Structures are given as C-alpha cells and as structure tokens.
Amino acid sequence: MLKVIQNRREQGYRTTKYPKEPINLYSRYRGLPTVHQDCDKELARQCAEACPQQAIDVDKMLIDIGRCTFCGQCEIQSQGKLVTFSNNFELGTSSREAMFTSGSLPALAEHSKKHFKSLFGRSLQLRQISAGGCNSCEADTNVLGTPFFDLQRFGIDFVASPRHADGIHVTGPISNNMKAAVLSTYEAVPAPKVVIASGCCSISGGPFWGSKDVVGDLNSLIPVDLYIPGCPPHPMTTLHALLQYFK
Amino acid sequence: MDNLLQIQNGQAVSRADIPDLDFAVFQQAVLDATRHSGFVVQFFAYEDEQSALKLIAVIRCGQVLYVAGCSLAEEYPSFTLECEKFHMFEREIAEQFGVRPKDHPWLKMVRYHENCRGKDDIFGNDYSQDIPGNYPYFTVDGDAIHEVAVGPVHAGIIEPGHFRFQCAGEKVFSLEIQLGYQHRGAEKLLEQAGQHRNRLPVIAESIAGDTAIGHSLCHSQAIEALAGLEVDEGAKIVRTIALELERIANHIGDLGALSGDVAFNPPLAYFGRIRGEFLNLMLTMAGNRFGKGLVRPGGIAFPVLEEQRQIMRNKIKDETPGIVNVCDLLFSAHTVIARFEHTGTVPRAIAEKLGLVGYAGRASGLPYDARITYPTEAYAQVEPNSNERTVGDVFSRANVRHEEIMHSLRAIPKLLAKEVDAEPIAVPVSYTLAPDSFVVTINEGWRGEVSHCLLTDKDGSILRYKVKDPSFHNWTGLAMSLRNQGISDFPLCNKSFNLSYCGFDL
C-alpha cells in the first residue's frame, strides 16, 4: 500500500491540457506537407516517380495525404524544394478530395455533419475494427486511453460491443478475410452511426496498395464520414480530428 | 551436417553453392539437425526460373547456421511426424504452393488464401466463401463440455483472430487459434515482378508495425548483403538503439497491460504513459513514433547527432527511476504474484519441441537470443543479458521482459556514450542485387527471432522473398499454455505472449 502511494506521488499528474494549451511535437515529426509550386518540374517528376506510394501529382502539384505514409523521402530527395513536411498534426478531413493538397486543409469543424455534433458531441462511443492493419494504427489509437491523453475526459471512448457504439473506427486496408467482419460489425451498430477511416491503409490501401488480398479503400464498402491520415496517425492527429469533428 | 552448407547471418551466397540434395537425403539431414538441438529458422518453397518447385531449409544449431535445398514433389512425406518444429511451416507451404505433406498430423489452412500455382486446394476450400471455409473446428464431445468462440473482432483495440476454447466448466481442454484475418499478401507484394524497389522498405516496415525496426533491419541487411552496400558505424549504432527502443516500449506497455489484466491498475496507468515516452524518443530519431522511415538499405534516412543523443540521454535518465519503482510495485504485489505464478506454464520440453523463440522461449529455459548468437549492427558491443526465472509461466515471461527493459536501459546510454554522429544516406537508394544469390538475415526483434530470406534470379530480380515473424513459432506456444488453465486466465496468458497477428498473417 505504501508503495502504491509512493508511486502515485512520484508519477504525479501527467495529463495534457490540450486543447486549452497547444502541444508542440518535436521538430522532426512529419505532419501536413506543403508542395512548393515553384519547384522545378523535372525534379518534381523524379520525386513523384520515386515515391513508394505514388502520392504526388506533378501536373496539379498536389500530394495525396490519403496515400502518403509520411516517410519523408520526397523532402530528402528534393532537399525541400518540392515537399516540406510541417509540424502540424491537424490532418483530419471529412472528404477524400480534400486530401489532395498543396499545403492546406479545410477547417474540419465546419465540414462536420451538424446532426453528428448534436448527437455525439457530449458522448461518442466507438467500436474499433482492425482490418488488415500492421497494428501501429491500433497501438496509437489505444494510447488515447492512457493518462497523458485521457480521451474519456471528452466523453469519447472505445467500447467492446458494436451494439453499444455510435460508430466504427476502422484501421487497415480491409483484408479480404476481414471484409465480412467489417460489414457485419457496421451493420450491428445502431443508426445513426458514423464511420471513421484511420490511417492511410483504410483510405487507400497504404503500403499494401495493389495487393489482390485487400479491398484497399473503406469508402468503397461503406460511406466514410471522417478520414484520419497518417502511417500511423499521431495520437494528436486522431484526438484533434475527433474533437473538431464531433465537439 | 555434412550435407548442409554453413552460412553467416546476413551474408550473401551464390545459389549454386547451396547443396541441391536428393529429397530423401535432404529430409534425413534436416531432421537429424533439428530433432534434438537444432531449430528451424526458415523452411519454405519457391518456384525456380523453370517453374520447378524447390524447398529451402535454414537451420540453426548453436552458433552455426546451415542451409540446404532440394526439389519438391506434389506430395512428400511430412517432416512434422518426426519433428514438431516443422508443423506450421509445412502447413504454410501446403497453402502457398498446393503441395501435400503426407500424414501431416494437423493439415489445416494457415492464412486462408488460394495457392499461387493455381493447383487444386489442399484443404478443399472455395475462397469466395468466408474464412474458415469448410474447415470444421476441433471439438471435444461430452455432456459437460462447452465451447467458447471469440473473434475475429475482439473486445478491445486489438488485431483480429478467432479463438475456440473447449472447456469443462472453467477449465480449458483445448484452445484452437485461427488466424489469417490480417493477410495482406505482403510476401507477394515484396516479390512481385517489376515491383518498385522504393516500396520494399515501406512494406517491410508494415509487416508488423510494432516491430517496424525489427523487420526493416532484416530487409535492409538483406538488400545490403545482396547489393554490397556498406553501412557506417554511426548508422549501425542508431539502428541498434532503435531496435532497443522498440523493445523497451513494447515490453513496458505489456507489463502495464499484464498488470491491468490482474486488476492492479496503478502500473497500467504509469506504464501506459511511460511507454509513450519511448515512442516519442523513436520519433526524435525517425519523425515517426514507430520508427517508420528511419532504416533504409545502406544506413538511416535521418541524421542522429548530439541534439538527438542529448534528448535520449536525458529522457532515459529521467524515466529510469520511475520504471524501477513501478516494476518494484508490480513485482512485489502479492495479488499480482499470486496470479502470475504457475499460470499458463509452457515447460522447457514443450517449448523446445515447438521451437519457441524470444522472451517466450527464454522464459521457458531456451536461452537463445539472436543479439548474442548472430550479432548484427552494433550488438557485438552490447553485453549479454541473463534471465533469472525460467519456468515458463506468466511470471517468467513478465520477469524476462522486466530484465530486458533494464538491460536495454543500460545498453542504450553506453551506445550513446560513443558519441558517433550518424549521417543519413541519400534516399531513395538505388542498387543492383547480385544475381543467382541467396541471403538470410536474422535479428532479435522484441518478440524474438525475425528473419527475412531472399533469392535472386539470373537478372538480379527478387525470385522469392520469405518473411518470418517470431509469432510464427510462438502462437502454438500460447495454445499450449492454456491447456488445463481456467478460461479466465486467457487474457493474462495472451498478454504475456503478446503475439503479432499481422506478423503471422503477412
């Protein structure tokens, strides 16, 4: 018992004051990218060709953050002349189109469905479905329950049964072997319900794009309301997106 | 062993040098090597340039690695009858290539997908049907027997898999684990003809995201061996530190979760937060909390200099006393000890028969640690670790993880103290792979032995890319640990192994 009290004292209170106070991630974190429109076209073409995710559109000078794994190769290869990744973790969007970006995203709070805010603004219970992911999206969603983030203080939680849920949060490229389970879990959630695609796998197949063993795009199965890009999304990206979209 | 070729971890050899034995000679030699002291590192099939089916075995015996190959017929006498270590490997080969190991004691599918040769399915499955196809799960008959089926979607934020328990009251007679739900075709993508080489490290990092460094090291070392790329000292040190950070983060998270599973909440809360600190250290080097993007063939993609070293030194110094105290809190609580001790025991004899690796193996008295046996990167400079309690129960697995956390916390500052600046290489890396070559790489990921094996054809294209996550060995260990246990101890046993679904499913 004394050890419990001693550890409690040593560990103290560690919960972030976000969103009242901003959080600054270490400078090396790769968040929202900017595509520099003045970049030499030949260099841009080389970087786009070399991109493992084929996420760069040279003609429109856009990067698709729904495909991008934020590996940073294009920034290194172009020495920052084509793409630079910022420290901005606010990446959530409400439409697939908005993810083709040159450096800015629409304000998420204004693109939320209004009835979602009134329905789920005070209490949002989500059923998480891991569908072919590599477990990093799952792990960095799980940490939202740790004392630093303490997701429950916002009235948001992940629940065990789809019957208790207001929506689903899907990670992974939806392997063929998980397709049926994703659909039946979705059906088991009572309407009205929200669908969240988290991580580039569920948005575009991620690193597994082109594999015949995955569906590769959650939106092709069920309509997605909220997209959370990243590989995996930083926990702050998820937290920001949930708060903006539902609060 | 005379028939087998001795090889080194991460050193390319010509395919022509690999003994191409007669099947009977191959089987005898491989079984002689593995029946007692030897273990299977890789055992897989591939189609050569003439579409002839071949079999390759990589065996470890003590400090030595061996390889041999042979031709594979559509049916062959099963290795598993003689040696259980082949059980899952033979099922995998049957599924991937549609060949039958005759008299295999438990020939069922592994990941539920059609074979790559368009042959009749060994399991008689029609893959337009959902998993598990026509497979009847193992059942135990009797009036008092009841069955519990769990998954694929589980009650937490975890990966999918299906578990079937055959119970009498609380007591579990048998646990059958069906995976495959995470199958994404990773091997096929890695070896796909004309695949963009820049994709390979990104795919390798996502084989198992919690082992991103372990798998990307295996990948990069294999490419480096085949392409003749040199890695400088600083990068090797950084890659070693990254693998140890990955180990610390995962072990700390799991100790917290184990504590939560026995309803002792303080360590769960503290370790949950502390785990994040180590993920953030990974971000300090890689820009990503799982280290994705850091390791690339030839070195590392981002500089790790005094600024990053200082952040790591300070953080480890700040957090170590707290980790020591929370571990003391956990391991001295009577309620915790009562639940950890003698729960989910896998005795040494069973662990050895199944070929368990990593902390699961070490906790059952198999001391193998690839960091010591086949050191890569800067591991020759890291002192070996030792384990005190190795009786194979949950307590042993938790204690081994505790010892490994403390060991890594000592090892990283020593590596940082070398003060070697690690400069990045220019990515993307372009390279040419040696033609007609073979390489196997082994690293001690946090769960145990991670291994990649590559074969190239005469043009230097990848002919076969075989991936093995340690979970491939250890899932059977989890099933064994549940024999005669209370079903309510399943979460505890499961977390003490904490195996990878996606690493297994590929």
Task: Give the Cα separation of B393 and B482 in Å (integer).
Answer: 11
Q: Contact, A137 vs A199, CB < 8 A?
A: yes
Please give the helix or strand (H or E) that residue B205 lies within, else none. helix B199-205
Say yes or no for a CB contact (<8 Å) between A52 and B202. yes
Q: Please name the residue of chain B whose CA is at the shortest distance from the CA of residue A14.
A: B273
Does residue A223 carry a pLDDT above 90? yes
CA distances from A204 to A173, A221, B441, B503 (A): 7, 12, 31, 21
- Nearest by CB: A134 against B113, B209, B333: B209
Q: Contact, B425 vs B229, CB < 8 A?
A: no
Residues of B with Cβ-Cβ distance to A30 under 8 angstroms: 287-288, 293
Q: Is the pTM value of this prediction over 0.80? A: yes
Does residue A156 carry a pLDDT above 90? yes
Residue in the block written with tokens 């569920």 = A202
Alpha helix locations (H) across chain A? 2-11, 41-50, 73-77, 114-120, 136-142, 176-188, 200-204, 235-246
User: Residue B228: what pLDDT?
Assistant: 96
How many other CB atoms sit within 10 Å of the CB of residue B180? 25
Task: Give the Cα separation of A237 and B482 in Å (integer).
Answer: 39
Does residue B1 carry a pLDDT above 80? no
Kindly state the percentage of chain B with pLDDT values over 70: 100
User: Residue A109: what pLDDT?
Assistant: 80
Domain B5-131 falls in which CATH fold?
Beta Polymerase; domain 2 (3.30.460)
Q: Which residues contact A126 (CB under 8 A, 6 or more apart)?
A: A156, A157, A158, A159, A165, A166, A167, A168, A169, A196
Does residue A107 carry a pLDDT above 90? no
Q: Helix, strand, or coil here: B187?
A: helix
Q: Please name the residue of chain A whose CA is at the shortest distance from the CA of residue B290.
A: A136
- Nearest by CB: B159 against A127, A130, A212: A130
Strand runs labelled E in A38-193: 56-57, 62-64, 83-85, 100-101, 124-130, 156-158, 167-171
Task: Give the Cα separation of B335 and B332 in Å (integer).
Answer: 9
Mind telling me how many Å the CA of B503 is from chain A's nearest CA?
Answer: 8
Q: What is the pLDDT of residues B293-315, one digit of tens each?
A: 999 999 999 999 999 999 999 99
Q: What is the pLDDT of residues A52-78, one digit of tens each?
A: 999 999 999 999 999 999 999 999 999
Mind telling me how many Å the CA of A80 is from chain B's nearest CA?
Answer: 13
Does residue A154 carry a pLDDT above 80? yes
Q: What is the mean pLDDT of chain B?
A: 94
Q: What is the pLDDT of residues B330-357, one digit of tens each?
A: 999 999 999 999 999 999 999 999 999 9
Find how far residue A78's CA is from the centre of its chain. Answer: 26
How many other CB atoms sit within 10 Å of the CB of residue A46? 17
Q: What is the CA angle A46-A47-A51, rounded to 5?
A: 120
Does residue B194 carry a pLDDT above 90? no
Domain B186-505 falls in which CATH fold?
Cytochrome-c3 Hydrogenase; chain B (1.10.645)
Domain boundaries, chain B: 5-131, 186-505
Task: Give the Cα separation of B501 and B176 in Å (integer).
Answer: 15
User: Residue B156: what pLDDT?
Assistant: 86
User: Residue A90: what pLDDT?
Assistant: 95
Instruction: Please choose, from the candidates B328, B340, B326, B330, the residue with its C-alpha nearest in 3D space to the C-alpha of residue B270.
Output: B326
How many other CB atoms sit within 10 Å of the CB of residue B257? 22
Residue A116: pLDDT band with limits 50, 70, 90: confident
User: Residue B131: what pLDDT?
Assistant: 87
Question: Residues in chain A, how many?
Answer: 247
Say yes or no for a CB contact (<8 Å) between A10 and B427. no
* Cα torsion B99, B100, B105, B108: sign: positive
Q: What is the pLDDT of residues B87-136, one digit of tens each?
A: 999 999 999 999 999 999 999 999 999 999 999 999 999 998 988 888 98
* CATH class, range A109-246: alpha beta
Interface of A with B in 103-122 (CB under 8 A): none
Does residue A111 carry a pLDDT above 80? no
Mean pLDDT of the A29-40 span? 95
Mean pLDDT of the B268-286 span? 95
User: Residue B134: what pLDDT?
Assistant: 87
Q: Helix, strand, or coil here: A20?
A: coil
User: Residue A60: what pLDDT?
Assistant: 94
Task: Give the Cα separation of B190 and B466 in Å (integer).
Answer: 9
Mean pLDDT of the A78-86 span? 95
Task: Give the Cα separation of B388 and B380 in Å (integer).
Answer: 23
Does residue A114 carry a pLDDT above 80? no
Q: What is the pLDDT of residues B242-274, one digit of tens each?
A: 999 999 999 999 999 999 999 999 999 999 999
